[in-house]
Structure 1
């Protein structure tokens, strides 16, 4: 039970950004996708959610192929983007209702869950607000709440801490831990390597569209021959060689 990315080659044009990338995200694990700007993190995620078509390779989730069964595959995933994407004409309540319809959630159970999430992020009194009324951080919280509503096999999180205050960051990390305990596979792209080092079970380290290293923090220390190095130190050392 896992996400499997195998020999992925792709990008936004005929010249590939990703060059034969392979990795796995197992059920109930949080994997950190780490790399500098332009390394290929967001391109990788855009392929996994189906916004980009691979030039070569395959992507599958629990045996369901994105290429062969896109509708069935996409029902199994949820996504928190780096930049919030909201509909200007819809209230917070209507965004939640749209998410419930898209995933065909049972209404009472879904609203019970939604109200819990809204209280965690202090949005329970903002149900009638439109996106124009929200700050950048509040918009990000709306995206988090919507992504946390359905029970999915894979949660993709792209630079989740941008715009979040320390309290919201803590709340998000607690929710990710809950999802992981419930068996969700989580792939998180982030520049905040100190936090990634603390919360991720393993890492996929990419640079210039290629996998530099793949494994647990202990594995990366062994590969870099730096038994006491931080994740940031390991990454900088590997990318500067």
Structure 2
């Protein structure tokens, strides 16, 4: 299998706070990686380092065989990204936004315009192609973000809570889309707090906690090694969080005035 991403001894600190503490990863073409962990575990930092959105790390990050510190950033044209919180230019229409993004990836305007409209039609929002993004619902905005991440046909996709705000039918389409992409050799990093989705779509699950990888394998491998029935149970065991029932009961008691 072709190695797409290679990470060696990756460490990153913000001031005196150590966020990543020696990450080692080999990611291969066609993998769907479920990249999970508690808030503050280092997931977003890892992704932002790979994307070149932040720098100042120690260790090695190779994309397509090249250390990213030694490139001119052209590798980014082969990557798509859906952040957890999207900053859309709300004064723009979807047409203006998507053609702008496509041109950043080096595409021709007419090609982007054609693809963007057709993709919006498929996702049921084509009628709003020329409407300002400020008028869009959360689900419509999420669809635009997903389109912006795939319009240039990238080799690697980084998706952070990509199903947020989507209706049930759209969720089914996106899940199927990811499976089809992987079958065509695209590599997908999928990060979510919805464990059931990660469990179902990922062929490999990586769990990071406090800046280190604490689990790496298929769901079946993780389930077998930890004697747990669900990814949520494995997650709670490995991250040491077992207060959910007690805290829920406390909330109920407060709400009920006890």
TM-score where L is the length of structure 2: 0.86
CA distance in 2, matches of 1:72, 1:108: 22
Other structure's SS at 1:75 match? helix
Question: Equivalent residues in 2 for 1:8-23 (5 A)?
Answer: 8-23=10-25
**Residue 64 of structure 1: CA displacement?**
2.3
CA RMSD of aligned residues (A): 1.8
**Is the CA contact 1:39–1:209 (under 8 Å) kept in the aligned structure 2?**
yes
Q: CA-to-partner distance for each residue in 1:58-106, whole Å, 9 max, x for gaps?
A: 2121112221104122122110111122113321001121122112225
Whether 1:229 aligns to 2:229 is yes
1:161 is matched with which residue: 151, 160, 163?
163
Other structure's SS at 1:151 match? coil
Aligned length: 239
Aligned to 2:244: none
Higher relative contact order (CA 8 A, sep 6+): 1
Q: CA-to-partner distance for each residue in 1:168-224, whole Å, 9 max, x for gaps?
A: 211211221222122111101111111111110101101111100111112212332
Other structure's SS at 2:146 match? helix
Question: Equivalent residues in 2 for 1:70-89 (5 A)?
Answer: 70-89=72-91
**Is the CA contact 1:23–1:204 (under 8 Å) kept in the aligned structure 2?**
no
TM-score where L is the length of structure 1: 0.91
2:199 is matched with which residue: 197, 206, 230?
197
Q: Are the structure 2 counterparts of residues 140 and 11 from structure 1 closer, same or farther at C-alpha, using a change threshold of 3 Å?
A: farther
Q: Which runs of 4+ in 1 moved over 6 A?
A: none
Question: Equivalent residues in 2 for 1:89-238 (5 A)?
Answer: 89-107=91-109, 109-224=111-226, 226=227, 229-238=229-238
Other structure's SS at 1:179 match? helix
Structure 2 alignment gaps of length 5 or more? 242-258
Q: CA-to-partner distance for each residue in 1:19-46, whole Å, 9 max, x for gaps?
A: 1112222111100001112222112111
**Residue 146 of structure 1: CA displacement?**
0.8
Aligned to 1:27: 29
